[in-house]
Amino acid sequence: MAEMEIGNDHQKTSPTKEDQVYDREKAVKAFDDTKAGVQGLVDDGIAKLPPFFYMSPEDLHDHPTLTDSYLHSDFQVPIIDLNGVLDPNEHKEIVEKMRSASEEWGFFQVINHGIPQHVLKEVLDGVRRFHEQPREVKMKYYSRETDIVRYYTNYDLLQSKGASWRDTLICVMAPDTPPPEKYPFACRDILLEYSKHVKSFGEVIFGLLSEALGLDPDHLKDIGCSEGHTFGCQYYPACPEPDRTLGHVRHHDPDFLTILLQDQIGGLQVLHKHHWIDVPPMEDALIVNIGDLLQLISNDKLKSVEHRVLAKSVGPRISLACLFTTHLQPSKRVYGPLKQLLSPNNPPLYTETSILNYLKSYTSVGGLGNALSLFKL
């Protein structure tokens, strides 16, 4: 029988008075100025986290964690097999499974997705190569400014109450792909190759979700949901004090759809029925989760749910999130609840917004905020 547990002794996670006697702003700036990221701290051999990584017990243990969730059928992240998607009978069943998973969970794993195994392995290897380069090589990409390619630790490092234990390489891949030399040499070729595969896979998912909403299969593609995508190449080193911080705080994704490739370390959790549920690594599987913008245009039919990543004493954990959005490409297109889904009994729940405006609102409320609520009618 699985146990419900809230976690370890709260006293252990609370900063001591000694920890709090320091200039936080100065410490954060000094860390950011190194341009070496979290991995730089590991390279320096730290045995204790800088206090600005500490998170409160309320942030760490806001909901109970369901251990051994695989023993509970109601708490198993759905797995969707795309083998047979071209068969009319199986296709209908797959659409129904995707509709159910997107409405009830907002998260599901996909197998037999068509992306070659060697591509998945090589792209994770490429992400690792970038992050494990000498800091002098990575520093030229380090930036807090919006750019096609940038490397940093925590987009909200300067504002957050507690920093997450990870480094990130952001690469905008589409629609306006820059010259190849814009991308880091360590992972350039494989990112470009994976980009082609994941774009095609994303269009398949958008097609199935269109059908799940009762729309023409090309509807979400035709309104631009799959037009652009950005890679978030995440690196979570082994953490010396994993009970005092997180790899990534709880958050929603500010996009239409996210396709995540994770290694076998684990740590990803999704919030389901007021419990944190592990999303177990599955070899060669891809994780799909609904983003805020897809919840908005589906008028709450599809759910964007909170998720987080635990810090671990083992690592590094490597993952690559592909966010389908065009937030860096200015566009006059606005998105609101799809008229085809509305009726007198199902009136619009949100006002219209552009992607860029939504992202600005998302950033303004921080990692623990819910930007969707700002657009509620």
Q: Which CATH number belongs to the domain containing residue 109 in this structure?
A: 2.60.120.330
- Using DSSP, state whether 255 is helix, strand or coil: coil
Q: Is 312 part of a structural domain of the chain?
A: yes
Rounded (to 5) percent helix, strand, coil in the chain: 35, 20, 45
Count, residues in the chain: 377
Are 354 and 337 in contact, with CB atoms under 8 Å apart?
A: no
Q: What does the pLDDT read at residue 323? A: 97
H helix runs in 24-81, sequence order: 24-34, 37-43, 57-60
Q: What does the pLDDT read at residue 6? A: 28
Tens-binned pLDDT, residue by residue, of the chain (377 aa): 333 232 333 334 454 545 456 799 999 999 999 999 999 999 999 999 999 999 999 889 988 888 765 556 678 999 999 999 999 999 999 999 999 999 999 999 999 999 999 999 999 999 999 999 999 999 999 999 888 999 999 988 988 889 999 999 999 999 988 899 999 999 999 999 999 999 999 999 999 999 999 999 999 999 999 999 999 999 999 999 999 999 999 999 999 999 999 999 999 999 999 999 999 999 999 999 999 999 999 999 999 999 999 999 999 999 999 999 997 776 789 999 999 999 999 999 999 999 999 998 998 886 566 899 999 99
Q: Is 128 part of a structural domain of the chain?
A: yes
Task: Write out the residue range of the structural domain in which residue 354 sits.
Answer: 23-375
The two structure tokens encoding residue 176? 């306006």
Are 266 and 281 in contact, with CB atoms under 8 Å apart?
A: yes
Q: Is 4 part of a structural domain of the chain?
A: no
Domain count within the chain: 1
Q: What does the pLDDT read at residue 331? A: 75
* CA angle (153, 168, 101) in 5-degree steps: 120
Peptide bond into 316 cis (omega under 30): yes
Distance of CA 319 to the CA centre of its chain: 9
Q: What does the pLDDT read at residue 7? A: 32
Q: Is 273 part of a structural domain of the chain?
A: yes
269/264 Cα distance (integer angstroms): 14
The pTM of this model reads 0.91
Q: Is 205 part of a structural domain of the chain?
A: yes
* CA angle (22, 26, 29) in 5-degree steps: 140
294/347 Cα distance (integer angstroms): 17
Q: What does the pLDDT read at residue 10? A: 36
Residue 18: name the closest of 46, 48, 58 by CA: 48
